[in-house]
A = this chain, B = another copy of it.
């Protein structure tokens, strides 16, 4: 792994780390439907609002979502729906596993 590769894979790891949490995947899933503010997501998730805010900050810093303040609220949105392709990739892995299980 040379220096260039190292930088490239670390940059990709920044993205994949941001995705490495069930709550954050769920947030992306919801944001695919429509934008939501922190309060609304908090109710959907059922965790402390500060926890949700921190999850959102992680996704934002990874460049996956962005936010817009309107009045009292901060609304979050997907920047690029390409993240969601990863959902089908993950589902693909899971399904492959299940069918392998059945083969045993």
Chain A interface residues toward B at CB < 8 A:
1, 5-6, 9-13, 15-17, 19-23, 25-26, 29, 44-46, 62-64, 79-80, 82-83, 85-87, 89-94, 96-97, 100
Given the complex, which residues of B lie within 8 Å of A20, measured CB to CB? 13, 16-17, 19-20
Given the complex, which residues of B lie within 8 Å of A89, measured CB to CB? 82-83, 85-86, 89
Give the residue of B15, B45, B79, B96 whose beta carbon is less than 8 angstroms from that of A90: B15
CA distance A5 to B62 in the complex (A): 24
Q: A85-B85, A93-B62 are in contact. Are A22 and B45 (CB under 8 A)?
A: no
Q: A6-B22, A16-B19, A21-B13 are in contact. Are A82 and B92 (CB under 8 A)?
A: yes
Contact at A100–B22, with CB atoms within 8 Å?
no
Q: A1-B44, A100-B79 are in contact. Are A29 and B9 (CB under 8 A)?
A: yes
Contact at B12–A16, with CB atoms within 8 Å?
no
